[in-house]
Structure 1
Amino acid sequence: MDGGAVKAVLFDLDNTLIETSKAGGAALQQAGELLKTQLGLDDDSVHNICERFKQKLLVEQHERSSGRSIDDLRARHWEESIVETLGSCSPSLAAQCYVMWKNSRLEVLCLSPEVRQLLKQLRCRYKLLLLTNGEAKTQREKVEAVQCEDFFDAVVVGGEHLEQKPSSSIFRKCFDMLHVEPQDCVMVGDSLDTDIQGGVNAGVRATVWISSAKSSELDGPVKPDYTIPTVLELPDILAQLL
């Protein structure tokens, strides 16, 4: 962590600047209400379908060469989840569930006034870059929905490049875009495996892990330099890195 003054801060997006998990939960509730209305399902059946959909999101591997769009892929997640629970499902209902889930999630996502103010203040002193993993179309839709692009000097979406976090190559691209060296930068994110490990791999000045967990003990090999419960506490960390 030794070095000169910090010149740039790299931020993750999901569950770092915006509460994607909470928005996803609200969106699942909306999709569940649609299923109840359309099929007259009980709560247990709806819960089972939604949980299956969540698991498919966690393990999905969207290949750009497959010819299937992310929208088609996720509509298929809904269809498979309903079939696995009920035995059958019309593609049109699955498509309705996907559209409801997607639009509801985007409507809920936002940059809080406090986070907006934080980014404005930091931009006066540091170069800021948004570095988010994920499928390109999905992540760009989030960036547009929360209207955050103007807070950053650059926005880099992993799905638009050959490699994503924690690969060093995408970090090098970020450093080049900002005209800074790795030791000039701080990486901030909620994922130990992608954000923190990626920052370590790339040789940044410091890594800051966003974790609301009560216990700060880490069992795995990835060790952040700092841990804070919310990104709003980041200025206190940066003040230590002068």
Structure 2
Amino acid sequence: MVEAVAFDLGGTLFHGEDDVSKAKSVLYERLCERGYELDSSKFESILREASVRFAAQYHGDYRRFHFGAFSEVFFDVWGVDTTAEERASFDRLFWQTRLRHQSLDEHAESVLRFCRRQDLVTGVITNGNRMMTETRLETAGIADEFDVVLCSTGVQAEKSTVEPFEIFLDETGLDGTDCVMVGDRIDEDTWAAEVGMTTVYLSGGSAESRGPEREPDYTIDSLDELPRVVTELL
């Protein structure tokens, strides 16, 4: 019987409209303001190479969400020296811009109310740092809706490993078979199956898979379909 539902954030409870491209534009403007000599085409070229290298180096490693991680790779590809503080400020600007251009899924609040009516434990298991996670939840006014909030830098493990899901079970005191994990990444969120959790894949995510994919137990096209799935499992 289901006693808890855990949610991913980005792509599941929150969606962005051109948030990445807007963050890139703001980052480029800030680089120019700081006096770095870099034309837009060169910036895009460095960004592409850095993104490939960053994914290869950090996927599966929670440290990629610490401030400075991506900028460190970016400046390394560029061949320009800068301070750790400067790199951290660029990463902070990038993520804060993305978060400003993300909004809560239109069905999120009703789904969370459903979970509360069913007296279910609700949780967040997300790849990210504390700032990113708290900003999302507080800005949307749903921070108090969750009993457990786990982010990868806090638990020192990414969702493309089993550790975050084990920690969720430890903190709730529940068995995996009593829990549901909802997310839009079948190379990350479906790792919950390793501890016996039922996995629900929210289709439509555009992120490229970076690791092995697992077949989800359920696939939904919209978050408002989740109550039906949970009801089946009660």
TM-score (norm 1): 0.72
CA RMSD of aligned residues (A): 3.5
Secondary structure in structure 2 of the residue aligned to 1:110: strand
Secondary structure in structure 2 of the residue aligned to 1:222: coil
1:112-138, CA deviations, whole angstroms, 9 ceiling, x for partnerless residues? 443233223322212211112345555
Question: Residue 184 of structure 2 contacts residue 203 of structure 2 at CA under 8 Å; is this kept in 1?
Answer: yes
Are residue 230 (structure 1) and residue 222 (structure 2) matched?
A: yes
Structure 2: segments with no counterpart, 5+ residues: 207-211
Correspondences of 1:14-29 after superposition (within 5 Å): 14-19=10-15, 22-29=18-25
For 2:129 and 2:187, the matched residues in 1 are separated by 18
**Given residue 224 of structure 2, which amino acid in structure 1 is its aligned partner?**
L
Structure 1: segments with no counterpart, 5+ residues: 215-219
Partner of 2:195: 202
Partner of 2:115: 122
Distance 1:234 1:101, change over 3 A: same
Are residue 212 (structure 1) and residue 204 (structure 2) matched?
A: yes
TM-score (norm 2): 0.74
Question: Residue 62 of structure 2 contacts residue 158 of structure 2 at CA under 8 Å; is this kept in 1?
Answer: no
Decide which structure has the larger Cα Rg and report it. 1
For 1:213 and 1:13, the matched residues in 2 are separated by 12
Alpha-carbon shift at residue 46 of structure 1 (Å): 2.9
Q: Percent identity?
A: 25
Question: Residue 17 of structure 2 contacts residue 101 of structure 2 at CA under 8 Å; is this kept in 1?
Answer: no
Which of 105, 128, 131 is the matching residue for 2:125? 131
Partner of 2:144: 150
Q: How many residues align?
A: 223
Partner of 2:67: 71
Are residue 48 (structure 1) and residue 45 (structure 2) matched?
A: yes
Secondary structure in structure 2 of the residue aligned to 1:13: coil
For 1:33 and 1:100, the matched residues in 2 are separated by 11
